[in-house]
Amino acid sequence: MTPQHQDIKHILQSERLNVPVRVYGWVKTFRNDRFIVINDGSTIQNLQLVIEPANYDEAFLKKISTGAAIYAEGELVESLGKGQAVEVQVSKLEVLGEADPETYPIQPKKHNLEFLREKAHLRPRTTLFGAIMRTRSSLAYAVHDYFRRNGFVYVNTPIITGIDAEGAGQMFRVTTWEPENIPLDEAGKPDYRKDFFGKKTNLTVSGQLEAETYAMALGKVYTFGPTFRAENSNTTRHLAEFWMIEPEVAFLDLDGDMDLAEDFVKSIIGFVMKSNAEDLAWLEKRLLDEEKRLPKDKRSDMPLREKLQFVLDNRFVRISYTEAIDILKNSKPAKKGKFQFRPQWGMDLQTEHERYLVEKHFKSPVIVFDYPADIKAFYMRLNADGKTVRAMDVLFPGVGEIIGGSQREERLDVLLEKMRRMGISEKELWWYVDLRRYGTAFHSGFGLGFERMVQFVTGMGNIRDVIPYPRYPKSAEF
Ligand code: ATP
Ligand code: MN
């Protein structure tokens, strides 16, 4: 790209002083009719512009307020004030677009996150959301970079799917029908043959099943795309629309799958620690400031970047589900009746259990494997015990489950039997079953919820604050 102007990031990185610069940006603050601090989104750093007030009339100066878009030409000089190394002595200034201070909601003060969610179109102008979204973007790049370096093929699986239920969550129906005018069949039921696709269709809850078909041809593949779940769970870790990364690998067993998951998350975290060092430093300071208001025992053990480094430096603990239940049964909170759900073999691990294992017992990311077959999806490989499946979940501090994966059932008879028992239609998934008919082989994969990773890396408590426009029950503004 040939830039017509310079990004603030590049201006601040260049070590050449007394050179002409041309910058655009939005005003953060304007003090003493002289100092305009602007940001253009290229970096968390602002640039200070210094103007001579006598050169402008009062009406013009009034237009310079927080949020206004401006253009400036001038000379980059060493700054005499503290707080910045360089600044721009302005020779020409234009206000491109004013921002009426009476109504512009983003003022130079701390806004609470609920307020900013209602102003989701303007919140990227805040320092906080700039830092989050730059970090998110780098993480996405790191994902593609990791898979590319390791020989994976990027596969785009469909967003509209003909799969009606695969157990991952409630689905959103896709149709062109008007609700008051639905074609009915002879029995008075909706006649889906007359709908757009000639059958029931939904938004995808996962690209896995289709990804498997590509893994069984190209070997190592991954998907990275939007996923939809109509789950009515108003938690800080669930969205109705989120992005998922799903690698799928032929000739890989569950141990290899766990190795891949661990290596992958360490790689992308390591990447952003370098690429977004300034953003993370700022996010860390924000968290420390927030926590000062909390009682000591509610504060986190480690500052943000230390926590990220800790993940890089330590091997994730790996325990079977059965071991996890034993640890939970013998734990203090279980004995004191402090868990809302009493740990019992066969139950799904609740958030309180996951957090106990990760934050209290092991103080480390934990991979739990070999879950009871009854609480996991139909496609997970049955173990010899007949009771457990080759599933694994990666649990992280703060966010809980960040990855869910498994070795897939490759034996035709076992798969069909399982589908029958779980009420999964063989007729609908004929193509998936075909994989077990033609050249079947052991293979594995997992799904990483991208927003949960962004949450972990940025330290944000609510998943609604790590995606530009969050979708959740009763909320689809913007
Ligand atoms: P949970 O128990 O937290 O609801 P899940 O078991 O439904 O997760 P999977 O179906 O295994 O999750 O999906 C893989 C990953 O996708 C999860 O580990 C998580 O990181 C992410 N994920 C799942 N549901 C959501 C959601 N509603 N919003 C955001 N991320 C999600
Ligand atoms: Mn779920």
Establish whether residue 349 lines the binding site of ligand 1, counting it when its CB lies within 6 angstroms of any ligand atom: no
pLDDT class for 452, splitting at 50, 70, 90? very high
pLDDT at 3 > cutoff 70: no
Each residue's pLDDT tens digit, 323-375: 999 999 999 999 999 999 999 999 999 999 999 999 999 999 999 999 999 99
pLDDT at 315 > cutoff 90: yes
Mean pLDDT confidence for 411-417: 98
- Tell how far the Cα of 449 is from the centroid of ligand 1, in angstroms: 6
Atom of ligand 1 nearest to the CA of 402: 20
Establish whether residue 446 lines the binding site of ligand 1, counting it when its CB lies within 6 angstroms of any ligand atom: no
Which range has the worst mean pLDDT, 76-85, 172-181, 260-269, 426-435?
A: 76-85
Superfamily of domain 8-106: Nucleic acid-binding proteins (2.40.50.140)
**Quick one: CA torsion of 467, 468, 474, 478, rounded to 10 degrees?**
-170
Establish whether residue 373 lines the binding site of ligand 1, counting it when its CB lies within 6 angstroms of any ligand atom: no
**125-158+215-465 belongs to which CATH class?**
alpha beta
pLDDT class for 80, splitting at 50, 70, 90? confident
- Tell how far the Cα of 170 is from the centroid of ligand 2, in angstroms: 9
Nearest CA, atom 6, ligand 1: 404
Mutational test site, ligand 1, from 401, 403, 406, max ligand atoms within 8 Å of CB: 401
Establish whether residue 434 lines the binding site of ligand 1, counting it when its CB lies within 6 angstroms of any ligand atom: no
Task: Label each residue of the chain as H, E or C.
Answer: CCCCCCCHHHHHHCCCCCCEEEEEEEEEEEECCCEEEEECCCCCCCEEEECCHHHCCHHHHHCCCCCCEEEEEEEEEECCCCCCCEEEEEEEEEEEECCCCCCCCCCCCCCCHHHHHHCCCCHHHCHHHHHHHHHHHHHHHHHHHHHHHCCCEECCCCCEECCCCCCCCCCCEECCCECCECCECCCCCECHHHCCCCCCEEECCCCHHHHHHHHHHHCEEEEEEEEECCCCCCCCCCCCEEEEEEEEEECCCHHHHHHHHHHHHHHHHHHHHHHCHHHHHHHHHHHHHHHCCCCHHHCCCCCHHHHHHHHHHCCCEEEEHHHHHHHHHCCHHHHCCCCCCCCCCCCCCCHHHHHHHHHHHCCCCEEEEEEEHHHCCCCECECCCCCEEEEEEEEECCCEEEEEEEEECCCHHHHHHHHHHHCCCCCCCHHHHHHHHCCCCCEEEEEEEHHHHHHHHHCCCCHHHCCCCCCECCECCC
Ligand number with the minimum distance to the CA of 401 = 1
Q: What is the pTM of this model?
A: 0.96
Ligand number with the minimum distance to the CA of 400 = 1
Establish whether residue 38 lines the binding site of ligand 1, counting it when its CB lies within 6 angstroms of any ligand atom: no
Nearest CA, atom 24, ligand 1: 238
Mean pLDDT confidence for 447-465: 97
pLDDT at 225 > cutoff 70: yes
Above pLDDT 90, what percent of the chain? 91
- Tell how far the Cα of 91 is from the centroid of ligand 2, in angstroms: 57
- Tell how far the Cα of 396 is from the centroid of ligand 2, in angstroms: 16
Please give the pLDDT value at position 164.
79
Q: Residues 449, 226: contact at Cβ < 8 Å?
A: no
Ligand number with the minimum distance to the CA of 232 = 1
Establish whether residue 370 lines the binding site of ligand 1, counting it when its CB lies within 6 angstroms of any ligand atom: no
Nearest CA, atom 21, ligand 1: 449
pLDDT at 168 > cutoff 70: no
Establish whether residue 472 lines the binding site of ligand 1, counting it when its CB lies within 6 angstroms of any ligand atom: no
Establish whether residue 247 lines the binding site of ligand 1, counting it when its CB lies within 6 angstroms of any ligand atom: no
Ligand number with the minimum distance to the CA of 392 = 1
**Quick one: CA torsion of 201, 204, 205, 208, rounded to 10 degrees?**
120
pLDDT at 165 > cutoff 90: no
Residues of the chain with CATH 2.40.50.140: 8-106
Mutational test site, ligand 1, from 235, 238, 341, max ligand atoms within 8 Å of CB: 238
Residues of the chain with CATH 3.30.930.10: 125-158+215-465
Amino acid at 23: V
Please give the pLDDT value at position 2.
60
Please give the pLDDT value at position 4.
72
Please state, in angstroms and rounded to a whole number, the distance separating the CA atoms of residues 248 and 447: 9
Please state, in angstroms and rounded to a whole number, the distance separating the CA atoms of residues 221 and 217: 9
Establish whether residue 155 lines the binding site of ligand 1, counting it when its CB lies within 6 angstroms of any ligand atom: no
Ligand number with the minimum distance to the CA of 226 = 1
Establish whether residue 166 lines the binding site of ligand 1, counting it when its CB lies within 6 angstroms of any ligand atom: no
pLDDT class for 297, splitting at 50, 70, 90? confident
Nearest CA, atom 18, ligand 1: 403
Please give the pLDDT value at position 471.
97
pLDDT at 1 > cutoff 70: no
Atom of ligand 1 nearest to the CA of 452: 20
Each residue's pLDDT tens digit, 382-393: 999 999 999 999
Establish whether residue 168 lines the binding site of ligand 1, counting it when its CB lies within 6 angstroms of any ligand atom: yes
Each residue's pLDDT tens digit, 100-131: 999 999 998 889 999 999 999 999 999 999 99
Ligand number with the minimum distance to the CA of 230 = 1
